[in-house]
Amino acid sequence: MQAIVLVGGEGTRLRPLTYGTPKPMVPIAGVPFLARTLERLSQAGIRDVILPAGYMPEQISDYFGDGSRLGMSITYVIEATPLGTAGALKNVEQYIAGPFFVLNGDVLTSLDLRAMMAEHERKGGIGLLHLIRVEDPSAFGCVVHDRDGRISAFVEKPPRESAPTNEINAGTYLFEREILDLIPAGRNVSIERETFPQIIAAGKGLYAYTTDDYWIDLGKPEQYLGAHRDVLARRMPMLRLEPGVSGEGAPALANVSKLHLPVHADRGVRVDPSAEIGPNAVIGEQTFIGASAIVRDSVLWDRVIIEEGASVDGAIVASGARIGRGARVEPGSVIGHDTIVGPGEVLERGSRVGASAPITR
């Protein structure tokens, strides 16, 4: 069994974080999201992985190499121009030998891949699509199927009151190789809008696999923060340590008097005992938090400096950024790489600060 992980997107909704980091390398509790995905594949016995990449691919290949240190084999295929989901699959056709998974590069899920393989064996057909149920399907693509799971229609972003179902495409597929014969080469092809309807029209078996697993699209800052809350609360099982203070940097928090769990801290963290940390704080490697500073409901990447008396609440702060003495960062703010927020500066709710995103207040 092989897997294709789609990592070519630019992550525009996560800017300015993705000005300096490709979306698959955005960290989840200190580890690149793509590494979390590859770990899941390895646990399912899948060692042969293909990465169609296009945006900052060297950061991905420099980190993972050929995959050998993970016990995997990784093949990189660089897209000169975006090819869409199906176009990306067609572009790596020469490397596909049999059935293969396709995983969206920005979906965090607890889906059991082995169970999905078994379901595909049972149902047969050209492919199996993972679906989840949501309260409001209007922002997603609804998938209509019969009692046996055979898919009959896709409805893109229907009004909530007229949605035919609350089951949506969750972005993990398991296909037979023959699906590649249906995809034209050399152009952008949408699998949802073009390939899937073609399969249905041709009468080939395309089946649904609906589960109640954890699932979230990491494409927006609020969802990225929400995913960390879920990881810390164990709603998404990922960290191997018990809830509370996790990570190699946990000892650095031992003397913090105002510590509100859960909190995750990576190695090399330094925190003044008078700081207030948490709940739902993730502190990256070599980050420093000064006296009387406050960090709550936020994700700090590596080498961040929070100076004395500064406050960061409900925000994301990328690597190398500095929040000046007495500055205040309000909920929904996103601060890009190496950005400096000056002493006493206030970033109002929803501000985005980075190389191409000026401070707004």
228-237, 243-252, 350-359: segment of lowest average pLDDT: 350-359
Length in residues, the chain? 361
203 and 303 part of one domain: no
Domain-located, residue 113:
yes
pLDDT, tens only, 49-68: 999 988 888 899 999 999 99
Render pLDDT for 60-111 as a digit per residue (tens, 0 to 9).
999 999 999 999 999 999 887 878 888 899 999 999 999 999 998 889 999 9
The per-residue pLDDT for range 212-225, each reduced to its tens digit, is 999 998 889 999 99
One-letter amino acid at 185 equals A
Read off the pLDDT band of 359 (50, 70, 90).
very low
Residue 184 shares a structural domain with residue 281: no
Residue 236 pLDDT exceeds 90 = no
Which pLDDT score, from 0 to 100, does residue 358 have? 41
- Whether residue 208 has pLDDT greater than 70: yes
Q: Cα(219)–Cα(32) distance, rounded to whole angstroms?
A: 14
Which residue is it, tokens 């409901």? 297
In whole angstroms, how far apart are CA 309 and each of 169, 252, 279, 295, 345? 45, 19, 18, 10, 12
Is 270 found in the same domain as 142?
no
Q: Tell me whether residue 360 is in a domain.
A: no
- Give the C-alpha separation, 20 to 9, whole Å: 14
Q: Quote the tokens at residue 37.
A: 């995905």
Instruction: Return d(Cα 252, Cα 69) in angstroms, integer.
Output: 29
Do 173 and 213 have their domain in common? Answer: yes
Residue 242 lies in a domain: no
CATH number of the domain at 345, please.
2.160.10.10
Confidence of residue 360 (pLDDT cuts 50, 70, 90): very low
Q: Which domain holds residue 191?
A: 2-221
What's the CATH number where 76 sits?
3.90.550.10
How large a percentage of the chain has pLDDT more than 90?
66
Spot the catalytic one: 23, 157, 204, 258. 157
Domain final residue, candidates 221, 243, 269: 221
So what's the pLDDT on residue 203?
86
Q: Are residues 171 and 106 in the same domain?
A: yes
On whether residue 87 sits in a domain, the answer given is yes
Do 213 and 92 belong to one domain? Answer: yes
Domain count, the chain: 2
The CA distance from 78 to 344, in Å, is: 44
- Answer yes or no: do 47 and 171 share one domain: yes
d(CA 89, CA 198): 16
Is residue 359 assigned to a domain?
Answer: no
pLDDT, position 242: 56
- pLDDT of 355 reads 65
Within a domain: residue 337?
Answer: yes
Last residue of a domain, one of 200, 221, 242: 221
**Contact yes or no for 190/109 (Cβ under 8 A):** no
Residue 301 counted as domain residue: yes
Q: What is the pLDDT of residues 307-355, one digit of tens each?
A: 999 999 999 999 999 999 999 999 999 999 999 999 999 999 999 998 6
Residue 141: which pLDDT band, with cuts at 50, 70 and 90? confident
**Shared domain check, 201 and 316:** no
Quick check: 145 pLDDT over 70?
Answer: yes
| 123 noted as active-site residue | no
Class of residue 33 by CB neighbours under 10 A (exposed 0-12, middle 13-18, buried 19+): buried
**Which of 201, 221, 241 delimits the end of a domain?**
221
Same domain? 208 vs 292: no
Task: Verify that 56 and 126 share a domain, yes or no.
Answer: yes
As a whole number of angstroms, the distance between CA 300 and CA 29 comes to 9
End-to-end, the C-alpha distance of the chain in Å comes to 51
Same domain, 331 and 195: no
User: What's the confidence (pLDDT) of residue 316?
Assistant: 97
Q: Where does the chain have alpha helices with state H?
A: 17-20, 33-43, 57-64, 84-91, 113-123, 196-201, 221-232
**pLDDT band per the 50, 70, 90 thresholds, residue 357:** very low
Asked if residue 147 belongs to a domain, the reply is yes
Per-residue model confidence as pLDDT tens digits over 251-309: 999 999 899 999 999 999 999 999 999 999 999 999 999 999 999 999 999 999 999 99
Do 260 and 193 share a domain, yes or no? no
